[in-house]
Amino acid sequence: MNRGYRRAYSDELKFIHVLPEKRLTIDYLIGMYKGFGISYPILNTMWHAYKKRPPFVIPLAYIKCIFSVIKYLPFAPFLQKKKILLIYWVESVKAYHFWNFKTLFQIYRNSVSVVQTLI
């Protein structure tokens, strides 16, 4: 699998990861967490299919999102980290409403069939 490449190791090598300044702002972080929240229902559904969990866990994950919103809501005005987590969970709840359970169950069934072909 090395495809003709050789590997080497050296203690003298250094990796510098340069981030643009705009990626170091709270607004950028909030935007990322909105995106994470929006993708949560789809990725979570596919994960449960991969782990061969029963499909009734999909509505349970939605309930978990609602409880997480309730959990972080009182602290959001005072703590920045809680505010970002609240944004994540609110976006997740909104995404569940956007995708709806019928679509998520279809994604679950499709994911199960894909997983079965991999085995």
How many CA within 13 A on the CB side of residue 1?
A: 0
Q: Tell me, yes or no, whether 91 lies in a domain.
A: yes
Q: Classify residue 15: in a domain, yes or no.
A: no
pTM of the model: 0.80
How many domains is the chain partitioned into structurally? Answer: 1
pLDDT at residue 1 is higher than 80: no
Q: What are 96-119's pLDDT values in tens digits?
A: 999 999 999 999 999 999 988 886
* 84 C-beta neighbours (distance < 10 Å), count: 17
9 belongs to a structural domain? no
**Is residue 3 in some structural domain?**
no
Burial 29-43 (b: 16+ CB within 10 A, else e): eeeebbeebbebbee
Domain region containing 86: 21-118
| pLDDT tens-digit map of 28-78 | 999 999 999 999 999 999 999 999 999 999 999 999 999 999 999 999 889
Output the pLDDT for position 115: 85
Has residue 56 been placed in a domain?
A: yes
Asked whether residue 109 is assigned to any structural domain, the reply reads yes
